[in-house]
Amino acid sequence: MLWFRLTALRFACVLPLLLATLAPRPASAQKQPAGDDGYLFHDSHFHLTNYVQEGTDIHRFLEIMGNKVGRCMLSGIPLQQQWMYANTGEFAPEYYTQTDAPLYYYSFTDAIIANAYLQLTPEERKRFDPMITGFNPTDMYAADHIRRVLKIFPGVFSGIGEFSIHKEFVSSKIAGEVATLENKALDRILEFAAEVGMPVVLHCDVNTPFPRPNQDPYIVTNLRKLAGRHRDVVIIWAHIGLGRVVRPVEDQVGMLERALEDPESSNIHFDISWDETAKYLVATPETTEVMANLINRYPDRFLFGTDSVAPKTREQYLETYEAYAPLLAKLTPEARHQLLKGNYERIFDKARKNVRAWEAANARPRP
């Protein structure tokens, strides 16, 4: 854990320099949150199934949500982990770090999610926003897959993602062309997202796992260019680019600040999902303070999600929320509401309306 302590120390040393510029707005300028519905949060990042397309029964998951979680983005995993007997023998891997065998894109995951959603009553369905993920983002036909899914399952999906462009220990295991932010296939996906009005949840690490010292994260520059090319699409940057060993870059908060201030990047939103992200953002009192101040200044641009994968218990499901307790305690009432519920409602309520309108014009209604 020495690398983590050193990273946290460096992150903590750099971030306090920004405290003066990241002070929250005066109380008189803050909006007050809407009425409390009793839920802790809406989950903007959740996976019902795992890397072998197995997961939690949708009715069981509703019980896990209970009266704690109001609404939930519902996605599968777009990749299937191969069980290669020559590599692991009788051991059947369920996660990509358990084997050297490759991953491959698994389009049927969208049918699995749609089938689970359609098992629910109309009232239960109101709590979920299913997402399309089962496509190869390097394939120029990927946008056609998304269109096809909407037509086959009208009334089901709200958005696209989470899918990955660059991900530690994952990208290198996928055969074929390497996904990039400059790929024309990705442009086609976002063009179609704009046509329908679907938000896009995109995983793209802020840097490589073991970057050279003082190396600028070219990925960030390319992500901002991508957002600029597709200004009409809500892009939600998953985990603000962090991962298990992809640590915050030296100027992580400054980088976020510049994106938040830049009109060309106004369509980028940031989710702070995943307990691996939390370990950085609440690593020290200083990092927590700086991140809270940033969210307080830009409350309309951040979302909370668990990034839980097929949880078996409520305790397991709520672990990420509980890990963020130090950060949540430092937010203004407005910022806390927007992070936990308000921004989810704004983005996904609009998406539902947009997608249903597109389906009414382009797809046959479900019998």
Structure tokens at 147: 């269109």
* pLDDT, tens only, 198-230: 999 999 887 655 555 555 466 778 888 999 999
The reported pLDDT for the residue numbered 327 is 97
As beta bridge partners, residue 73 has 129
Q: What letter does residue 174 receive in the DSSP assignment?
A: B
Q: What values do phi and psi take at 234, rounded to 5?
A: -75, 115
Choose among 240, 245, 253: nearest CA to 202: 240
Instruction: Give the mean pLDDT of 301-329.
Output: 97
* pLDDT, tens only, 321-341: 999 999 999 999 999 999 999
pTM of the model: 0.86
Domain residue limits, the chain: 2-21+38-361
The reported pLDDT for the residue numbered 219 is 76
pLDDT at 16 over 50: no
Q: Please answer whether residues 235 and 195 qualify as being in contact, where contact means their C-beta atoms are separated by less than 8 angstroms.
A: no
The reported pLDDT for the residue numbered 133 is 97
Q: Which CATH superfamily is domain 2-21+38-361 in?
A: Metal-dependent hydrolases (3.20.20.140)
CA distance 41 to 217: 32
CA distance 139 to 78: 14
Higher-scoring residue by pLDDT: 119, 8: 119
Choose among 365, 272, 364, 292: nearest CA to 335: 292
pLDDT at 280 over 90: no
